[in-house]
């Protein structure tokens, strides 16, 4: 089975510390439960230049194209 994962190293980790990848939004650790985030948490993630929230998977930067999408 082939996967087109982005370059984020969480995809290669057997026990990633986050549920969602911040670059492509894919689930990288199913064992971590999805959380409800506040807008303050999302603002902090945007300042860290994440495209997706690592806790809930929501798109943080609308209109921006993640680098992972440009490499396909």
**What confidence tens digit (pLDDT) does each residue in 35-60 have?**
999 999 999 999 999 999 999 999 99
Residue ranges per domain, the chain? Answer: 1-72
Please tell me the distance from the alpha carbon of residue 34 to that of residue 52, in angstroms, as a whole number: 13
7-39 tens-digit pLDDT: 999 999 999 999 999 999 999 999 999 999 999
**For position 72, what pLDDT does the model report?**
46
Contact 53/62 with Cβ under 8 angstroms? no
User: What's the half-sphere exposure (Cβ side, CA atoms, 13 Å) at 56?
Assistant: 11
**For position 1, what pLDDT does the model report?**
45
pTM of the model: 0.78
- Residue 70 pLDDT greater than 60, yes or no: no
Please tell me the distance from the alpha carbon of residue 58 to that of residue 12, in angstroms, as a whole number: 22
């Amino acid at each position: 089975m082939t996967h087109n994962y982005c370059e984020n190293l969480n995809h290669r980790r057997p026990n990633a510390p986050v549920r969602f990848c911040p670059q492509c939004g894919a689930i990288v650790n199913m064992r971590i439960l999805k959380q409800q985030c506040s807008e303050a948490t999302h603002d902090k993630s945007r300042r860290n230049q994440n495209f997706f929230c690592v806790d809930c998977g929501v798109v943080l930067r609308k209109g921006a194209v993640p680098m992972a999408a440009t490499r396909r």
